[in-house]
Amino acid sequence: MIEIKNLTKKFDQFVAVDDLSFSVREGEVLGFLGPNGAGKSTTMKLITGFLSPSVGTILVDGNDISTNPIEAKALIGYLPEGAPCYGDMTPLEFLKFIAEIRGFQGQECVDRVQHVIREVELQSVCMQSIETLSKGFKRRVGLAQAIIHDPKVLILDEPTDGLDPNQKHHVRELITNLAKDKIVVISTHILEEVTAVCSRAIIINDGKIVADGTPAELESQSKFHHAVSVELSTKHDLAEDLAGFPNIGLQEEEDNVYTILSKNGEPIFSEVSKIAQEKNWPISEFHVKRGQLEDVFRSVTQSSREIS
Contacts with other proteins, residue ranges (CB under 8 A): 11, 45, 48-51, 69-71, 73-74, 76, 78, 80-82, 84-89, 93, 97-98, 100-103, 129, 145
Minimal distance, residue 152 CB to other proteins, in Å: 13
Work out how close the CB of 172 gets to other proteins at its nearest, in angstroms, rounded to a whole number.
23
Kindly tell me which of 86 and 245 has the beta carbon lying closer to other proteins. 86
**Looking at beta carbons only, is 145 or 222 nearer to other proteins?**
145
Nearer to other proteins, 72 or 218 (CB): 72
CA nearest neighbour of 87 among 151, 146, 132? 132
Gap between the Cα atoms of 132 and 129, Å rounded: 6
CB of 50 to other proteins, least distance (A): 5
3-state SS of the chain is CEEEEEEEEEECCEEEEEEEEEEECCCCEEEEECCCCCCHHHHHHHHCCCCCCCEEEEEECCEECCCCHHHHHHHEEEECCCCCCCCCCCHHHHHHHHHHHCCCCHHHHHHHHHHHHHHCCCHHHCCCCHHHCCHHHHHHHHHHHHHCCCCCEEEEECCCCCCCHHHHHHHHHHHHHHHHHCEEEEECCCHHHHHHHCCEEEEEECCEEEEEECHHHHHHCCCCCCCEEEEECCCCCHHHHHCCCCCEEEEEEECCEEEEEECCCCCCHHHHHHHHHHCCCCEEEEEECCCCHHHHHHHHHHHHHHHC
- CB 217 within 8 Å of CB 225: no
Ramachandran category for residue 72: left, alpha or beta (phi over 0 → left; psi -120 to 50 → alpha): alpha
Which lies closer to other proteins via its Cβ, residue 89 or residue 250?
89
Shortest distance in whole angstroms from residue 268 CB to other proteins: 49
CB-nearer residue toward other proteins: 131 or 266: 131
| CB closer to other proteins, 20 vs 85 | 85
Give the total residue count for the chain.
308
By C-beta, is 95 or 211 nearer to other proteins? 95
Min separation Cβ 197 and other proteins, Å: 22
Minimum CB–partner distance for residue 133 and other proteins (Å): 14
CB of 89 to other proteins, least distance (A): 7
Closest approach of other proteins to the CB of residue 68, in Å: 11
Instruction: Return the closest-CA partner of residue 8 out of 43, 37, 36.
Output: 43
For other proteins, the closer CB: 49 or 215: 49
